Chains A and B, each alone.
Chain A
Amino acid sequence: AQSVTQPDIHITVSEGASLELRCNYSYGATPYLFWYVQSPGQGLQLLLKYFSGDTLVQGIKGFEAEFKRSQSSFNLRKPSVHWSDAAEYFCAVGLDRRARQLTFGSGTQLTVLP
């Protein structure tokens, strides 16, 4: 069965510092990969997605992610974090086949220090 691992439950960074959130997946094939952000009281918002092609994908709010097939990873990065980036971040995978639902990781809570 497919699974998604986000090894960091909580990350704290200072405003202006760089950020990397880790995501590893377990899958027989290359799945579709997504990063979502969830702020309190808000729905999940899609940051970026990878289906195929260039392994470095750009998303909204200055985020990017790199797909590394050899490491089964899809880590999210941002060069300079803003206080408004404080939220919970979820990595998700899916197979564009029969079920087509998403399998989410357990999330990484990001705290941004002033």
Chain B
Amino acid sequence: DTGVSQDPRHKITKRGQNVTFRCDPISEHNRLYWYRQTLGQGPEFLTYFQNEAQLEKSRLLSDRFSAERPKGSFSTLEIQRTEQGDSAMYLCASSLGPQLRNEQFFGPGTRLTVL
């Protein structure tokens, strides 16, 4: 257990439905990342926050995706009008600071299946 928790661990939804995932980082960590991992691939960067500010978004993050970190603590990732291609593991990570020297601690992930 790294101290980063994600909820739910599994989500099955039908195409076209909206889903929301939650990530609770390690409490003193001000940097929070979202990654997506599809079967047989490594995690791919989606977006990151420094406290409550969303500082960068990957091109993978289409308009149907939105992420928030309203009080600089937990974060949510919402996918609207889900598509089968959204099926993946969504990983959250947190770190103490922006430098890569600060280890990113990963949560167990939320596995999304879109039927």
Q: Which residues of A contact B (CB under 8 A)?
A: 4, 6, 9, 32, 36, 41-46, 49, 51, 90, 92, 94-96, 98-107
Q: Total contacts A to B, CB within 8 angstroms?
A: 62
Q: Decide: A43 and B45 in contact? CB cutoff 8 A.
A: no
Name which of B33, B42, B107 has the most chain A CB atoms within 10 A of its CB.
B42
The tally of residues in B whose CB lies under 8 Å from a CB in A reads 25
Q: Which residues of B contact A (CB under 8 A)?
A: 2, 4, 33, 35, 40-45, 48, 56, 91, 93, 98-101, 103-109
Report 9 cross-chain contacts, Cβ distance below 8 Å, ordered by A residue.
Answer: A43-B2, A43-B4, A46-B103, A95-B100, A98-B56, A101-B33, A102-B45, A104-B35, A106-B42
Interface of A, secondary structure class, is: loop
Interface of B, secondary structure class, is: loop
Which residue of chain B is the closest to A107 with respect to CB atoms? B42
Q: Decide: B44 and A104 in contact? CB cutoff 8 A.
A: yes
Q: How far apart sit A104 and B89, CA to CA, in the bound complex (Å)? A: 15
Q: Decide: A106 and B108 in contact? CB cutoff 8 A.
A: no
